[in-house]
Structure 1
């Protein structure tokens, strides 16, 4: 699911439903009870994360099991030379290849004689700050979509609370603090 200002109400509703997936809601379990349960949670998580897509070939690497959108800022660790955990099963991994990052879909299980093999996307390391800033902008604009959705479905004062909870748990509006690489 792509999250940005262009999300339709059904897409925002799907995102909220994904947030509520692991939360137990008492019957009757309608929209208001779900939103109240979300607002009562200490941590909100959303399975997934940032996809890496090669716009030329269409190849996509998706986060593995147990990776979450709440960890999207961890991609900045790669800029500092640190490793990045993208989940397991299938175990995506990032390999540094000269000035590029090679993002493997199945890095853990698909190594052959010390080398990876299979589906991957090559990403110029210098492009990563711009891509992360784009993701930051899209996620921040998604908060506007959440506001509009919440207003249209009648959440009243809880709209602000829900937007603040999503912002806080996914660390959206805090400054990125990264510069373009030369």
Structure 2
């Protein structure tokens, strides 16, 4: 069985104190969905707001409290998120992790795989794609020769990406509920900013004909 999900890297949440967050998982990856606890949503928002905010250099003061930190994200030029798409093959136990510098905001780049293209998916690890007939063969790390690939039937890709989108839409709803408690005046704007910046709810192209 193939499972694809959107994950955030949570290394940047270490020492965060502006609102309650959850203890990090061992792998420091947080799958985004509508099933997150309020503290897990807090962790996700700690990452998203801290990753995109100004750092106080150049005469720009750093946010002093949670509400200011959230407003800074709402007014930011763009949204960037460390992480990306993770895909697991439960039959073989192989997992392909998102590469560095790809970013969750680029998750729709996976769509071009259906057209036979080979998108850049980051580095360290460096996922590598081969097209073998109607199979998309994904090697978790091109810099390591050992291990097995993950074979993705081309016809399955729309459903896999559709499941990612469904979980991200549910995550947005969780963010809205969380923000109503933390920063009610900008809760709707925050959800809109994340939706636009991470390109979540816009329809996916139907490549199934």
| TM-score, normalisation: structure 2 | 0.77
1:168 aligned partner: 196
Structure 1 unaligned segments of length 5 or more: list them.
112-116
- Distance, in Å, in 2 between the alignment partners of 1:59 and 1:167 is 30
The alpha-carbon deviation at position 90 of structure 1 amounts to 2.3
Pairing 1:148-167 to 2, within 5 Å after superposition = 148-153=177-182, 155-167=183-195
- Distance, in Å, in 2 between the alignment partners of 1:152 and 1:76 is 36
- Distance, in Å, in 2 between the alignment partners of 1:119 and 1:29 is 48
1:114 aligned partner: none
Distance 1:27 1:175, change over 3 A: closer
- Distance, in Å, in 1 between the alignment partners of 2:111 and 2:202 is 14
Root-mean-square deviation (Å): 1.7
Kindly indicate whether residue 168 of structure 2 is the aligned counterpart of residue 133 of structure 1.
no
Pairing 1:105-124 to 2, within 5 Å after superposition = 105-107=140-142, 109-110=143-144, 117-124=146-153
Q: Matched residue pairs, number?
A: 174
- Distance, in Å, in 2 between the alignment partners of 1:36 and 1:151 is 13
Pairing 1:23-34 to 2, within 5 Å after superposition = 23=53, 24=55, 26=61, 29-34=64-69
- Distance, in Å, in 1 between the alignment partners of 2:32 and 2:200 is 12
Report if the CA contact (8 A) 1:127-1:180 is conserved.
Answer: no
Distance 1:146 1:54, change over 3 A: same
Distance 1:90 1:28, change over 3 A: closer
Higher strand share: 2
The alpha-carbon deviation at position 57 of structure 1 amounts to 2.6
| TM-score, normalisation: structure 1 | 0.88
Q: SS at 1:138's partner residue?
A: helix
**Equivalent residue for 1:20, pick from 25, 36, 49:** 49
- Distance, in Å, in 2 between the alignment partners of 1:152 and 1:138 is 22
Q: Stretches of 4+ moved more than 3 A in 1?
A: 25-28
